[in-house]
Every structure is written in C-alpha cells, then in structure tokens.
Amino acid sequence: MTLGPIMLDLRGPQLEADEREMLAHQLTGGVILFSRNYESPQQLYKLINSIHTVREPRLLVAVDHEGGRVQRFREGFTCLPPCRVFGNQYDADNRRGIELAEMAGWLMAVELRAVGVDFSFAPVLDLDKSISRVIGNRAFHKDPEVVSLLAQGYIRGMKRAGMATVGKHFPGHGSVPEDSHHAVPVDNRRYEDIQMEDQVPFERMIHAGLAAIMPAHVIYSEVDDKPAGFSSVWLKGILRHQIGFQGAIFSDDISMAGAGIAGDYTERAKAALNAGCDMVVV
C-alpha cells in the first residue's frame, strides 16, 4: 500500500478508534498535529507511535512549528523566537544572524525528530514588508536576498537534525494585508514584480535543495484567477516547468477561507491535486 494524497488532523491527545479507521483509509497519507494534540513530550511520542502503527509504509506526521506565535508544542520544548529575530540580528551582524538561524533550525528539528515528528512546515520564505498581518515577524526579513541567506542557514540546521524542509507560502504571501485564514487575498502586481521580489527566496532555496513547497491561498490576478494552490499556471507552469522544482508540493490547509473559492471540501481537494499538489492538507 502506498501513501494517499490527504493529510488529516486529529481531535485530541490520543488516537480514537474512528480516527484510526480514517487513517487506515487508502486516500490518507499523513497527519498534521496541533496544540490540542499535545500534553507532554512523552504523550506526544506515544501518540505518534500509535499513528505510525496504523499502516505500512507509515503515515507522515507534520506540524507547524516555526517559533514565535506559530509553535504548536510549548511546555517541554524550547521556546523558539520568531524568525524576524534572526533578520534583526543579521542587520547588526551578518554572520551572527546566519549562525543563529542555523542553530534555531537545528534545535527546532532535533526536538521534533526526538518525539517522532517527521517534519515541520518550515521555513517561511515570505517577505516581511509590514503589509501582511498573518506573516509579519514570521518572516526573516523584508529583503529577498537576506531572507535567502538566513533561510539557507535555517535549512542547513534542519538538515543536520535529519529533517526535510518545506518552504512556504509560494510565491509569497507578504505583499497582501488580508489573512488567507479568513479571506481571499488578491495580489494585483505584475508577474515581473513578484518574480523580482517575493519569488526570489523560493528560487534560491529550490536550487539549494528545498525538499517541499507549500503554495499560498492568494490570487495573483495578473497571472491567474485562481489562488496559487489551485493554479496549474503557478504549480505546473511556473514552479515545475519554469523554475524546475522537483520536490513535493503540499497544499495549504483547504479549510481556510482563502480556499473556499474552489468549492466544497471534495472540490477543493480535487482542484488542488489537479493543479499540481501532491498532498492536500485538511
């Protein structure tokens, strides 16, 4: 049996009987964990172990664990700073900023791998332009070249800890004020402007060996009328063909408001897969 294209969540800190049945379904390929699934490192280890025993090959287990306000596991884990801290340090001391980013990537990854989490959806490769409320200090910096340098360090740290990397939110969520959790953001810039700014860190990291990418639930109206995560223009045309990305593509959460434009959940999942996503996160 191979892994299916759907990544699901769970209700609480233990795996329930009906959830086990759901995870055994042939369309399931992974589990994404949240704070509600966490009580302690020991409990988390047991939960992940129970997920891994459901089927073979075992299901992928992922989490959003960037640091700052997006860190699902707190007590028992190191409190990680938001990535903008490394950008601020870079402005004061370039080399030290990159060193700290690498250290943070390693620490985040090694703590998660110790309890059995396969990967975190990290790093954020968006630009901090002081426009996007949902991105903000989750981004390393406003300068795409600095973001690229810091992300390279962060990814080196993750790789040293044995964790694959997932860059998000392609081609960049930092230039729209709306939060795609609650709205459908529209970026009206020309493709050339996106390519010269927001897209730069993604291209740099792809050529540095980025394992996976998560596209944004943002409509880039000058390129396509669909959000990037549902757009074959972005995923097949630009990301795969033009840039040459050969890694995995994970959709952003299709329960977000930014995904509602694609229809109900079944229609959203089909639209994301048809556009070029390899796995749909629900």
Which residue among the candidates 126, 128, 252, 253 is catalytic per the annotation? Answer: 252
105 and 172: one domain? Answer: yes
244 and 116: one domain? Answer: yes
92 and 194: one domain? Answer: yes
Domain extent, residue 57, equals 1-63
pLDDT exceeds cutoff 60 at 207: yes
Query: Does some domain include residue 147?
Result: yes
179 and 261: one domain? Answer: yes
The dihedral sign for the CA sequence 273, 275, 281, 282 = negative
Helix (H) or strand (E) holding 193: helix 191-196
59 and 91: one domain? Answer: no
Query: Does some domain include residue 168?
Result: yes
89: domain CATH number?
3.20.20.300
Q: Which residues face 120 on adjacent strands?
A: 63
84 and 58: one domain? Answer: no
Query: Does some domain include residue 72?
Result: no
Is-contact 215 252, C-beta < 8 A? yes
Which residue among the candidates 9, 179, 181, 193 is catalytic per the annotation? Answer: 181
131 and 193: one domain? Answer: yes
139 and 230: one domain? Answer: yes
| Known active-site residue 252 | yes
| Known active-site residue 173 | no
Distances (CA, A) of 163 to 19, 105, 153, 266: 26, 9, 14, 31
207 and 146: one domain? Answer: yes
pLDDT of 127 reads: 97
Give the separation between CA 84 and CA 200, rounded to whole angstroms: 18
Query: Does some domain include residue 112?
Result: yes
Q: Beta strand pairing status for 186-187 and 70-71? A: unpaired
Total domains in the chain come to 2
113 and 157: one domain? Answer: yes
pLDDT exceeds cutoff 80 at 235: yes
Query: Does some domain include residue 127?
Result: yes
pLDDT exceeds cutoff 80 at 258: no
pLDDT of 43 reads: 98
pLDDT per position as a tens digit, 29-86 = 999 999 999 999 999 999 999 999 999 999 999 999 999 999 999 999 999 999 999 9
Distances (CA, A) of 96 to 39, 78, 90, 166, 226: 34, 20, 7, 24, 40
pTM: predicted TM-score of the whole model, two decimal places: 0.95
